Every structure is written in structure tokens, then in C-alpha cells.
Amino acid sequence: MAQIPCTELATSRRDLAGPALRTFFRIAELWSLSVEERMILLGVQARSTFFKWKKGHVSTLPKDTLERISYILGIYKALQILLPDTEAADQWIRYPNMAPVFNGQSALERMLSGQVSDLFVVRQYLDSQRGGWA
């Protein structure tokens, strides 16, 4: 299997930064996330960095942030498929959930632990509900 040179990967991350952040901020609006919730989901600690990103001032994003956005996009997409009522789909993340992976918490509470693995768990749960493999 051919390896991709590091410079091509960096270019790809640079090319993805703007569209990824625009998509994230649109989903965050639909989910009515606070600034603090958005920062946690993106894995960014500095408010100055967050607001630069929000204004579109970004050249590249850390791999961790792109991974987080990828999971959030997958969660959003899965919810739109599972719950065709867009308002219900957008509100689902806030409802308490008795599924074992949530233990009575909402999906948002699970995602706000700050760990990428929790975003993965929510995405995996929704994919399994769609009939994919968990």
C-alpha cells in the first residue's frame, strides 16, 4: 500500500479546516450549544483560539479536532436518518437516555466528558440503532 507523504496530509488538513469548522458551527447552532459546550466538543481550551476559529481565522486544525468534528458530523447525520423530524433529531442529544452506554444521562452529557472516545461511543450507538454494526 502506498504511503501518503506528510506534506500531502498537512495540505489535506489545511483544506479541511474551514469546511469542517463551518459545518461544526452550523450543527452547534442547530443543537443550541453554548460556547463552553462547543469548546469542549472541539477540544479547545483557549477562548481566543475558539473565537478565531469561529471567525474563520484558521490555517489548519489539529488531528484531534478534525476527529472530533468527524464524529459530531456522523452523530448529526445518524440522527437525521433515525429521526426524520429535524427538530426532534436536533433535540435528541439533550434527552436522558436509559441505554446502557448513557446510564440515564443524555448523549450530550456523555459527549461533554471531553474525551474523543465518548464522541465515538455516541456515534457507535447511533450507528447500531441504524442497523450498522456496533
Mean local confidence (pLDDT), 113-119: 94
Q: What is the 3-state secondary structure (H, E, C) of the chain?
A: CCCCCHHHHHHHHHHHHHHHHHHHHHHHHHCCCCHHHHHHHHCCCCHHHHHHHHCCCCCCCCHHHHHHHHHHHHHHHHHHHHCCCHHHHHHHHHCECCCCCCCCCEHHHHHCCCCHHHHHHHHHHHHHHCCCCC
By percentage, how much of the chain surpasses pLDDT 70? 89
pLDDT at residue 9 in the model? 47
Query: Residue 115 class from Cβ within 10 Å (0-12 exposed, 13-18 middle, 19+ buried)?
Result: middle
pLDDT at residue 17 in the model? 79
pLDDT at 7 over 70: no
User: Given its phi and psi angles, is residue 80 left (phi above 0), alpha (psi -120 to 50 degrees) or beta?
Assistant: alpha
pLDDT at residue 131 in the model? 81
pLDDT at residue 3 in the model? 58
User: Given its phi and psi angles, is residue 131 left (phi above 0), alpha (psi -120 to 50 degrees) or beta?
Assistant: left
- pLDDT, tens digit, for every residue of 13-70? 677 878 899 999 999 999 999 999 999 999 999 999 999 999 988 878 899 999 999 9
Q: Is the pTM of this model over 0.75?
A: yes
Between 1 and 127, name the one with better pLDDT. 127
pLDDT at 86 over 60: yes
